[in-house]
Amino acid sequence: MLIRPRRLRRTAAVRDMVRETKVSPDDFIAPLFVAHGRGIKEPIASLPGQFRFSPDTVSEEVKEIHALGIPSVILFGLPDSKDESGSRSWADDGVVQMAIKKIKDKVPSMVVITDVCLCEYTSHGHCGILKGETVDNDETIELLARQAVSHAKAGADMVAPSDMMDGRIGAVRQELDTEGYQDTAVMAYSAKYASGFYGPFRDAADSAPQFGDRSSYQMDPANAREALREIRLDIEEGADIVMVKPALAYLDIIRAARQETLLPLAAYNVSGEYAMVKAAARNGWIDGKRVMLEILTAIRRAGADIILTYFAKEAARELRA
């Protein structure tokens, strides 16, 4: 007797029945870029299909995202001005703070997450305060905590520190609690690698470092055990959700993280991963939609519960069709 696994691949209905991994729009977090100004919906060249919005236009986009069954957005800010300490990041009238209020006003049930980092707000483009040419850890985490509180105050449901300073999850958690925001959740970019895949994002958010790179704070792509150490630390410090970033070249890390923790696990399908698919599809070299769904499925299969992805709307449309 021949063992015939092909019996379970015979028809679409049988394949549906035995499919191990499902992807759904409610697994997605849609990233959004908000710029200072009014009436803006500006295409981002390096991320085809993505736009920069202003606080007054972003809620229209969020309505569409909501209508597609996507429960959550994560906001990145492009401020009106930058300085050495990134002070526009914790201003009550800052661009992200204004966007949060507009979104919560128009689509109250949308889960609004904010990226907490200084790189979009500092004149030098590094993720913290500089002492000479190095980023000062302990001064930086105080400013990150201040930024997190100002997002919570504006109405964010969740804050997501992406800077990779040591102790920032604890500092953010403590400051949120002290200021009365015990119910604001923290999604930690726990295992965030110093990656070439962030290229298009830095264009979109105008956040490329003016000198050097981020290797003295983000993780070395060669390290896997260290990711688990970072995840453990963030959980001890009070993270509610942990994240691995990027996703596609780090599926082994996602799997290891899944085995490490009972917390919800997020993976960030980053800008370079999106741009590669878009560029190849434009050239007719791959079927973009098919590859998109294959990638999202692979990230879920590796063990992620939640996927931050620029494909959110497009994939939701495909999945509902």
Residue whose CB is less far from ligand PBG, 115 or 175: 115
Residue 204 beta carbon to ligand PBG: minimum distance, rounded to whole angstroms: 8
> Is 245 in the active site?
yes
Catalytic residue from among 104, 192, 278, 313: 192
Residue 104 beta carbon to ligand PBG: minimum distance, rounded to whole angstroms: 22
Residue whose CB is less far from ligand PBG, 220 or 321: 220
Residue 7 beta carbon to ligand PBG: minimum distance, rounded to whole angstroms: 42
- Enter the tokens of residue 163: 């800077």
Per CB under 6 A, residues contacting ligand PBG are 115, 117, 119, 127, 162, 198, 201-202, 207, 214, 270-271
Residue whose CB is less far from ligand PBG, 101 or 202: 202
- Token pair 């236009």 is found at 57
Residue whose CB is less far from ligand PBG, 214 or 278: 214
Residue 20 beta carbon to ligand PBG: minimum distance, rounded to whole angstroms: 28
Catalytic residue from among 82, 104, 245, 313: 245
Residues identified as active-site: 192, 245
